[in-house]
């Protein structure tokens, strides 16, 4: 098993998209693509599975809604029921219209904050983590496709040059 990879560098996102499609059609495994900005449709072109982050967001929202309902029931009904304006309301359902804004806000609060934490954990972006860009130009104006070397190295280099790469390098991964 070789631990060499090819870094094919492109200077246009449309050329990159065509190169990704050609690379997949040639049955080469794309390890990663580094871009300075999100490229629409790149995930589908690379054949990545759809994300399940929306399901996580929905679950986090339900947790926030449940927390809000439980908290307000305990505070306003169980722990300290109040007679407001001569109308005692000692049931959760009678007070529900007044609780809706708080339930909405806590739903959004929990979903947003837990989603950020989930994103950082899934992408392994910890505070003070060093950047893992293989080429600093990918943060400015170039695009890099990293492909594992399996087979003839010279043939792969010529293949990526034919896809429109402005630079092709063979790198030893450590």
Domain extent listing, the chain: 4-50+131-172, 53-123
pLDDT for 86 equals: 65
Q: How far is CA 79 from CA 73, 116, 129, 139, 158, in A?
A: 9, 33, 45, 55, 74
Give the highest mean pLDDT range of 17-21, 51-55, 134-138. 17-21
Q: Is the pLDDT of residue 1 over 70?
A: no
pLDDT for 88 equals: 65
pLDDT for 126 equals: 81
pLDDT tens per residue, range 53-97: 899 999 999 999 999 999 999 988 888 877 776 666 777 888 788
pLDDT tens per residue, range 24-41: 999 999 999 999 999 999
Average per-residue pLDDT for the chain = 89
pLDDT more than 90, % of the chain = 56
Q: Which residues pair with 171 in a beta bridge?
A: 5
Measured at the CA of 39, the angle between CA 38 and CA 41, to 5 degrees, comes to 125
- Please, how many CA atoms are within 13 Å of residue 72, restricted to the half-sphere of its CB? 22
Q: What kind of architecture, by CATH, is found in domain 4-50+131-172?
A: 2-Layer Sandwich (3.30)
């Amino acid at each position: 098993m070789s631990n060499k990879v090819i870094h094919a560098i492109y200077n246009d996102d449309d050329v990159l998209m065509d190169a990704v499609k050609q690379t997949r059609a040639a049955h080469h495994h794309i390890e990663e693509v580094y871009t300075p900005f999100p490229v629409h449709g790149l995930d589908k072109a690379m054949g990545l599975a759809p994300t399940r982050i929306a399901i996580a967001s929905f679950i986090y929202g339900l947790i926030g809604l449940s927390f809000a309902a439980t908290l307000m029931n305990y505070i306003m009904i169980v722990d300290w029921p109040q007679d407001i304006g001569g109308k005692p309301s000692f049931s959760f359902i009678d007070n529900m219209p007044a609780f809706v804004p708080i339930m909405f806000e806590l739903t959004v609060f929990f979903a947003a904050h837990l989603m950020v934490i989930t994103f950082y954990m899934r992408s392994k972006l910890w505070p003070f983590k060093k950047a893992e860009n293989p080429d600093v130009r990918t943060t400015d104006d170039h695009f890099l496709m990293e492909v594992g070397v399996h087979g003839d190295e010279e043939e792969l280099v010529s293949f990526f040059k034919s896809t429109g790469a402005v630079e092709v390098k063979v790198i030893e991964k450590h």
